[in-house]
Amino acid sequence: MATHGPAQACGFHVYAPTETLVERLMDAPSVVLAGADRESPFRFAIERTLVGANERQTLPGLVDSRTRRVMKVNPDAKVLFLKDGETDDWERSILVDASNRAVVEQVVHRLAEWQQGQDEDMFRLFSALLLHRDERVHQWALRELDRAEYSTLQALMPVVPTALLLRDLNLPTERGLKPIRLLLLGLNGGAEHAALFEAGVARNLTSIGPLAGVNSVAWMEVAGVAAVEALVDRYLVSEAALPVAQELIVEALAIQAQTPTGELRAAIEGALTEAVQSHPEIAPMVARQFGARLDWSMGEALAKLNVSGVSIEDMEAVERYVTFGAKRGVFD
């Protein structure tokens, strides 16, 4: 099962702190569809078990007025309930109706495969669901893809109209989906979006959130080498930038350094080599982010530095990175 990628623990998925529906489904020993009880219409009654043995338990909560209205108009509408494997409590989840029932059933059918580590199949499915006509399914797909490593998104190259990504980009009620929308916009957009991503980097240099990093990745996607040079020369070494924003920019550079495009990788290595010479305080960030990806290409540059004025932890991060790089024969 995939772990959260770059803004969770210093990665761009720190913006997805809660479990997604697929993660909860995987953990649930029982998954059922429920409707209003015929004898007591304000109570839920299990009508179909999707996962686990047939359940006969009483479900918690009342059928609220909105749900009753929906079920009155559409008698086939049901509510998905999941059982918590640790507490044995039931959790009310999404409304299932004609628009999303096939998707829910398809996901449940594939859970066993995905639990065995078939992440590629899972993310491919949700990549295709980004174009689903039901907005609920579209948002569900965004949340699941938010867990994918960026290299997975690059490989899938989900096709999404840029107008659709821009439409709800800044909605306060969907703040949690902004990072994944930005990443997908970078993969689907062109040079005309470069200014949007640069503005996002500049605006988030003093933020503790992930958007400085997310915009950096997307900017490099659409502007290539020009974005790399501007990121390092203008923003990474800015006195206004908080350390957390600097680290996210370095992480974005480390992520894009994995690209098969040699020109972009060479530009990243060259720009960072110059930057650490004049700003050695960013060396620990480079060590952490490139080391986390087993990328020892910055070893020679960091080995030549006299890193001082940093914490012992930061100094050790540089030393470990240089040592591992030397063991792998990256530099003399």
Residue 332 has pLDDT above 80, yes or no: no
What does the pLDDT read at residue 312?
85
What does the pLDDT read at residue 19?
86
Number of H helices, E strands in the chain: 16, 4
Residue 279 has pLDDT above 60, yes or no: yes
- Report the chain's mean pLDDT, rounded to a whole number: 91
Question: How many Å is the maximal CA-CA distance in the chain?
Answer: 79
What does the pLDDT read at residue 331?
61
Distance CA 182, CA 196 (A): 10
Residue 34 has pLDDT above 80, yes or no: yes
pTM of the model: 0.90
What does the pLDDT read at residue 310?
72
pLDDT 10s digits, 190-246: 999 999 999 999 999 999 889 999 999 999 999 999 999 999 999 999 999 999 999
Q: What is the mean pLDDT of residues 255-276?
A: 93
Distance CA 218, CA 201 (A): 10
Exposed/middle/buried for residue 303 (C-beta within 10 Å: 0-12, 13-18, 19+)? middle
Distance CA 325, CA 227 (A): 27
In the chain, the percentage of residues whose pLDDT exceeds 90 is 81
What does the pLDDT read at residue 5?
44
For 227-259, give one letter per residue: b (16+ CB within 10 A) or e.
bbebbbeebbbbeebeebbbbbbbbbbbbbbbb
